Each structure stands twice: as structure tokens, then as C-alpha cells.
Structure 1
Amino acid sequence: MAQEELTDDLIRRTEKAAMKIAQLAVDTGITFKINDVVDQVEQDLPPNYPTPSKGAETRRDVITRIAQCIASGQLYEGQ
């Protein structure tokens, strides 16, 4: 999987996890954290899912950054 495809896939997976966690928060009244979204994404990844190759940044770091951009709306600015 090419780096751009990997990033796009992680964005899609993170959006899906964020929606799932947000719905749980609404249904239960429990506040969620970015790490909850990251954990959900990682749990749903298939075995041997590729790791982004961006220096020392781990896959978890990439997912965390994506989740933060989703939560802040930064991911959608300019679209």
C-alpha cells in the first residue's frame, strides 16, 4: 500500500471510529478522549496492517494526529 493510500485509509478508519465513539458518548453521557478513538482504530486494524513510514513517528502517532485534526475540524478546513 502506497504512503498516500495508507494515510487516506487511516483517515477513513479514524473518522469511522470517531463517529462510533462520539455516538457512544451521546448515548451514555460519558466523555471520550482522543486515545479512545486511537484505541478503536488500532483494534479494528487487520493483522499485519502496514505502518506509515514517516521518520520516528509510530502508527499510533499518525492516528492520534488524524484524530486530533478530526476533533478540531482542521482536517476539513478548506474543503
Structure 2
Amino acid sequence: MIAATVTGHVWATRRIDGLPPGAFLEVQPDGSGSHLIAFDVLGSGLGERVLVAQGSVAASWFPGTPPPVDALIIGSIDADSTEQQQ
């Protein structure tokens, strides 16, 4: 799993059949200058910290024949309680 921050939206007007409702988001993994595109079914927003699964783990989440998605947002990272107190 990768901890990352949502940095943007990718607008896709056409999608393959069988892809559930969701959005393609650009995320930046923590401690990295790189970006990747992840499929989001949670409704994550810009600036939100998320958990991303990649590869066969991400693809196996989809029922039936998995679509060609190799990065999936699987969780939202809540703020650390020590950060909230400051």
C-alpha cells in the first residue's frame, strides 16, 4: 500500500464497460516527486491523504473480469490526533 495525497482530477468522458462509478484521480505518493493515476470509488477530494493499492490487489477488487486499472484508492487517511491538537 502507498500513502499519497490527491493532487488533481483526470477527466475521462468515455470509459470501458464494467467500470463502476468513480473517478480517476492524480495522486502523489508521500516522499516522492512522482505522480500516478488511481481509480477512486470513495469520493476523495483534492488535498486529501489516501491509501492506494496497486497491481493485482487493485484489479481483484472489481467483480468479474477486472478492468485495466492498476492503482485503486482503498482508504482515506484521517489526521493524526497529535496534529489536531497543535
Tell me which interval the TM-score lies in, with the shorter structure as reference length: under 0.3
Give the greater-gyration-radius structure (CA): 2
TM-score by length of 1: 0.25
TM-score by length of 2: 0.24
Does 1 or 2 have the higher relative contact order (CA < 8 Å, sep 6+)?
1
